[in-house]
Amino acid sequence: MLTALGAAVIAAVASLIGVTLGALLEPWKLNAARRAKLRQDRADRCGKYIEAAARARQHLVSINVSHRQGADAERVTGYEDEYYTVRAEMRSLLGLLVMSGPDELVEAAREVRRKDMDLHHVRHEPDDGGEFTRVVLPTAVRDAVVELDRAIEAFALVARKHTA
């Protein structure tokens, strides 16, 4: 009888300790889950921002090539419409990144935006030699493309640091 009573007491104490520990650890588990969700949301936003920046870059290059080629206005307008749609997406994603931080990531995203605007300003740049060459971009456009690519890569590195 003493053994059965001892086993019951031990089981009750162990159960009480388990419930108490579970109740004490629950806030930590919830906090860890919340941090993991925030990290995943940030990673998703960063990925979308990188994709949008790459699409914006491509549309601006297409606008430049079409402009230099003398393409019809409808084609150029199509590229511009697509560019402005992607640009609006970038603005939305930047706002979400500003809201969730961290500041280092936000600053890297703003740098991508600045480099995108630099490329936007030279999108109608004429050919260097006056002769249209599809594969060779004008120097100003090429330089702006390289700077935008570098900014996207730098943003990706900062994003990796804050989402891993």
Domains in the chain, please, with CATH?
44-163 (1.20.120)
Written as tens digits, the pLDDT of the chain (164 aa) is: 557 766 666 776 777 676 676 666 677 766 777 888 888 999 999 999 999 999 999 999 999 999 888 889 999 999 999 999 999 999 999 999 999 889 999 999 999 999 999 999 999 888 877 776 667 889 999 999 999 999 999 999 999 999 88
The four Cα atoms 154, 94, 107, 145 give a dihedral, to 10 degrees, of 40
**Pairwise CA distance, residues 150 & 108, whole Å:** 11
Q: At what angle do helices 139-163 and 103-121 cross, to 10 degrees?
A: 160
Distances (CA, A) of 69 to 32, 63, 93, 125: 55, 10, 33, 12
Token pair listed for 135:
């594969």
pTM: 0.81
